Amino acid sequence: MQHNNVSVLNKLLPQFLKTVSGIIISLLGWLIIVNLPMLDEISFPFAFTLTEMLSAAIFTIIVIMLITFGLRLELRFRYYATRFSNVGGVIRQVFFLGAILILYYFYRPLFIPYLSDLDWIFHLTFLVASLTVLVIMGIAIYKSLEQVTKPLPKKVRNKPLHISPLSCRSCGANIINSARFCPGCGKATETAQPKIEIDLR
């Protein structure tokens, strides 16, 4: 189990670092754009400014990176942590919800001026999308709690452990606990270890 956890972390770390690096670079570019006064002086034949359009483009890239990372994170959970596979679904919906809110905020200046009295369509679209994601997230959380709290099968929990006598590492012969030497090969029993078996029948 510990080996699987380490494997998952090793596989997720490069993608996480790439995503974080991409987001940081994109945010630095956005800060440069919004703080350049010369962009406001550029004439633009639309109802929105050049700064607003570039900001929307940059945050669209950020949203794509977030969604991609969320989907890969979900796949890792489903493949490596089957007992908590629905946790990946919760994480994915969190990324989706964040993406919807980001797009709503930065796309609003681009669409609202052209919708005029129909701007409610824009707001309603993002509201429905957000509520849908929240419902799916709630279902995923409920299933995750069921997985986490689900007890082990009764057969596994109630079966006692069967401990066989000590066995020699060299020849595999059974050794009495008080014996100092293996009756099969004559080696000292310091390296002998008990065999522990679980009867699942």
* 1: confidence class by pLDDT, cuts 50, 70, 90: very low
Structure confidence at residue 114 (pLDDT): 87
Q: Which amino acid is at 187?
A: K
**Given its phi and psi angles, is residue 186 left (phi above 0), alpha (psi -120 to 50 degrees) or beta?**
left
**3-class secondary structure, 35:** coil
In terms of domains, do 167 and 190 share one? yes
In terms of domains, do 142 and 159 share one? no
- Which structural domain, as residue segments, surrounds residue 80? 2-149
Instruction: Flag whether pLDDT at 132 surpasses 70.
Output: yes
In terms of domains, do 110 and 145 share one? yes
In terms of domains, do 88 and 162 share one? no
In terms of domains, do 94 and 171 share one? no
Instruction: Flag whether pLDDT at 195 surpasses 70.
Output: no
Last residue of some domain: 131, 149, 167? 149
In terms of domains, do 175 and 95 share one? no
In terms of domains, do 166 and 94 share one? no
Nearest-angstrom CA–CA distance, 61 and 39 = 21
Q: For the whole model, what pTM was predicted? A: 0.63
**Average pLDDT value for residue range 2-23:** 74
Q: How many domains does the chain have?
A: 2
In terms of domains, do 48 and 108 share one? yes
Dump pLDDT digits (tens) for 17-38. Answer: 888 999 999 999 999 988 887 7
In terms of domains, do 142 and 162 share one? no
Instruction: Flag whether pLDDT at 2 surpasses 60.
Output: no
Average pLDDT, the chain: 78
In terms of domains, do 62 and 145 share one? yes
Find the range with the poorest average confidence among 15-19, 56-60, 121-125: 15-19
In terms of domains, do 145 and 159 share one? no
Nearest-angstrom CA–CA distance, 75 and 82 = 10
Structure confidence at residue 81 (pLDDT): 64
* 181: confidence class by pLDDT, cuts 50, 70, 90: confident
Instruction: Flag whether pLDDT at 142 surpasses 70.
Output: yes
Which residue did the predictor score with more confidence, 182 or 70? 70
Q: Mutual orientation of helices 50-80 and 2-34 as an angle, nearest 10°?
A: 180
In terms of domains, do 167 and 124 share one? no
